[in-house]
Every structure is written in structure tokens, then in C-alpha cells.
Structure 1
């Protein structure tokens, strides 16, 4: 890993009653505490990290915000906020290190749906946040026109969460490429969620290279630690970094994805 590298996608996970579960969650994960997360960053040579609110905790961002406050110089966060809170509540999220919000239409949703997209776009604009989407790129036929109208910056999770077997020439993936080419950011991540192969997930290479070609300055990388809702071979983060090397064999561009691009999107100041 280059100096000042950023892992832009990981989760911390607590346990009830202190950190309650979503009642309609899609899975129940084991704990992933702050200490284990920071150890992973250290072991992989990641200077900085971005925590994303995990769907099973819904809109209770307490654990993630506590972790951000305890590591202000190292971590940023992407929250799943409730509409209609007092300004002081949103300001507290910003002060802790929240730089974006997430809308997850997979894995139980995490409390937000596209029905409230306009309201959340306004909220993101008010607080200087981007909006990160976990969606299936095949749904961009319907969702694409709505996303194009948003005023907030857009980040798409896990290369559109599209099975590799669907193919880079498919309509859904080509719509994702167009969205990214037109200004959206994309996370080169989640290979094991898309692949039908074992590590290093050769069948995902075409996706990553098409996205990196479309917008080399708007691609970032994330480990997706601790790999929740994964029922096949559990990857290590080092294996996923090997996959990144296959996706982006040019070291200069790969280092840009791991550093400069992520610094720009998340506001890290090395």
C-alpha cells in the first residue's frame, strides 16, 4: 500500500441492547468492534479509513459515530440519517467526521428508500454530503433518470453490485459506466459479491477496468471488511488487494485510486 492509502468501505458492528438491530434486517452478523477494525487497517498498511453505516443497525449511527470521534485524525464516515432531526444532531454527525450518507436498497435497506430521495438530496446538500448508493445496476434503467437530477455528488457501491455473469456489455453495466463517466464516483470493491469464482475473482476484471477507464479520477477502493452476508469463501483483505492489482495493473493509477482520489472525495488532508 502507498503512504496515506485509504480503505473507503468498512463497517463496525455492535450487539444489542446497546446497539440495537433493525427488526427487518436481512442477516445477523457477528460483532466487528473498533479494535478489530483498526487492527485490520494497521495490518494492511491503510493510513486512513472510511466507515459506512451497516444496514443491520439501521438509522442508529451511534457505534459508528463513537468510533469516528475516537479516531478523528484517521477516520471519516458515511451515515444513514433520519429526516427531520434538529440541526444540532446533523452538526454532531459532521463534527464527528460524517462526510456522506448512504441509501441502501439491498440487504433490508437500512431504513431509507428511494421514495424519500428528493428529501435526502436536500439534506445532503444542506450538510455538504455526497449520497452513496447500494443498488443493483440492472435497476438503473428505472433509477438512472432520477439519479441524474440529484444535486448531491453520487457514489455507487461495489461496482453496481451486478453479478459478473451478467457481463460488462449488459445494459445495466453500461448504464453504470455512463453514470460514472458523467460525474458519479464508484467504489472498486465487493468482488466476492459479484463473482462466481474463487479469489482473486478474475471474472470481475472487465467491470473494474471499464470503470477505471471511464473515470480514473473518480474510482476509490474499499475492503468491505468484515464481509457481512458472505456465504461463500471468506476472503482476506490481502486477497482483495491482490484483486485490485489485477483490476488496475498500472501502479501509478492504482496508487491514485488508493490515495488522491479518496482524499478528494472524503476530505482527508495528509
Structure 2
């Protein structure tokens, strides 16, 4: 068995930024605990346990009120750990599932009852073995009312993804802005291509998240405090204030080499959303509209 990965900071700092009341960490995960929720046999990494108790303790430490728990690839299509965390949240969490394309309507309804409000399609080859677009579109056409599709891909396949995204019949949320090269700046080719995608549909949302991934030293960035990320992303949030949601990405899958301090990640918020109005939209109004509209 491969070594298990610890990818989260052992003692994150208290952020200087105080989120507005009702703020939502709209992109986070749970891992296990493995004894109760085994990892997928197809998982590309094997993390240490990071369950609901740790997640909710971090939520309170960082000053947030709610979570949106996104199914991690290490759990495959078994959403039990995510559903368990939602059930234990006292109504303060919703979720995004990963599902088998042959999922039935009854199973989708069960997920809806458990607090799931979207499905995630992952196109990162280092994390998944296959991403069948036709099957994904079939699922997207059968989702419960009010659900959306979350897509994770890298910038170099954005143009290839455009016809698939155009065909999705429900709102779309792009994880981590499609991983642009933030060292190119706010008007670099990756950001220009991403703006073109956002302009193609009014129901495409995005997450201006993961400075620790997108501005990492090993990716050519400067690292913490992630100045390239702030410079590249702030204009995007200002231009599309009603279509962005934010999250910590805790427990930072596969970040064992450069584990970020979650307090520092929160302190990125006023650098990409400098006004109270932008912060309210990013952290409260937008995620509540997307995940708690019912």
C-alpha cells in the first residue's frame, strides 16, 4: 500500500480578514475516515483521514458559517463520506457529488435529499482514468431541478472543452478558473480565453480559488503570498461579481510538498475582492443562491 499523504497545515493561522456573516467556504473536501469510508481502488492518491470534525473545526477557526463539500476523486463515485459530513452539519453544508454515468433517477433523488446540489466532471488525467463526455452529457440532462455541473480541467484543453460545455443544459461552475497560468497576468492568453468562455453563456460560474496551486513556486509562480494570483484574478472577480464563489480547497489534495496555511488563503480574499460589496457577493450571496435557493 502506498504511503498516505497529509496535505493540510497542522495549525493554520487565524486570518486577519474577517468574513461577512453567513460566509460560505464553497469548495472543500473530506477524506474518510478510511475505516468508515474506504477510498476508491482507482484512487490516484491515498490521503490521511480528514473528516467532518476537522472540516467543521477549520470552518469555525477561519470565521465561516457554511461549507459546500465537493466529492474528492480519492472516493470515486461513492459519495458516502460527503453525505455523512452534510448530515452532520446541522444544515450548514451542501455538496457536489461524483456519480457513475448510469446512475438512476431514484439515486439522484436520494442524493438531492442528502444535500447534494451538483455533479462534478473531472478532466484531469492525473486524477481520473476516463472522462466520457457523451455519458456526462446524458447525466447532465437528467439532473434534479436546481442542480448544476462542476467541471475541473486545465487551461491547455479549454478550447477542446468548449463544445462540451456549450452542450450542458444546466448552469456550469468551473473549478479554479480552469487552472490558468496566473504568471501571464490579468490579460494573458489564459485569462483572455477564460473570459471568452464566461462571455459565451450567462450561466457559467467560476471559483477564483487555489492560489497555492496556481501560484506555486514549482509552477513558476512566486508562492505565498501569491502576488501573481492576486494580480491576475482580482480583475476577473470585479468583472463577473455575480458569478463567482470561493473556497479553501481544504484539505488540499496532493499538496504535500507546499502545504498552504489556510489563514493565508483566507487573507487572499480582500486582495481579489477588495470591497465589502464584492466580498458579500463572493462569500454569501452567490453561494447561497447556488446551493441554498430552496
Change (3 A) 1:145 1:207: farther
The TM-score normalised by the length of structure 2 is 0.84
Structure 1 regions of 5+ residues with no counterpart?
none
Structure 2 regions of 5+ residues with no counterpart?
1-18, 216-220
1:151-197 Cα deviation digits (max 9, x unpaired): 11000111221232344434333221122233210111111110022
Q: Displaced runs of 4+ in structure 1, greater than 6 A?
A: none
2:158 to 140, 157, 171: 140
Partner of 2:97: 79
Structure number with higher helix proportion? 1
Report which structure shows greater RCO (CA 8 Å, sep ≥6): 2
1:113-159 Cα deviation digits (max 9, x unpaired): 434232122133x4431000111122111111321222110001112
Tell whether 2:216 aligns with 1:191.
no
The TM-score normalised by the length of structure 1 is 0.91
What is the aligned residue count? 268
d(CA) in 2 for partners of 1:15 and 1:97?
20
Give the secondary structure class of the aligned counterpart of 2:229. Answer: helix
Tell whether 2:264 aligns with 1:239.
yes
- Kindly indicate whether the alpha-carbon contact (under 8 Å) linking 2:25 and 2:246 is maintained by their aligned counterparts in 1: yes
Change (3 A) 1:102 1:168: same
Partner of 1:60: 78
Give the secondary structure class of the aligned counterpart of 2:103. Answer: coil
d(CA) in 2 for partners of 1:170 and 1:193?
18
Give the secondary structure class of the aligned counterpart of 2:245. Answer: strand
2:140 to 117, 121, 126: 121
Q: Which deviates more, 142-151 or 186-195?
A: 142-151
Q: Which deviates more, 133-142 or 11-20?
A: 11-20
- Kindly indicate whether the alpha-carbon contact (under 8 Å) linking 2:28 and 2:248 is maintained by their aligned counterparts in 1: yes
Pairing 1:75-224 to 2, within 5 Å after superposition: 75-106=93-124, 107-109=126-128, 112-124=131-143, 126-181=144-199, 182-183=201-202, 184-195=204-215, 196-224=221-249
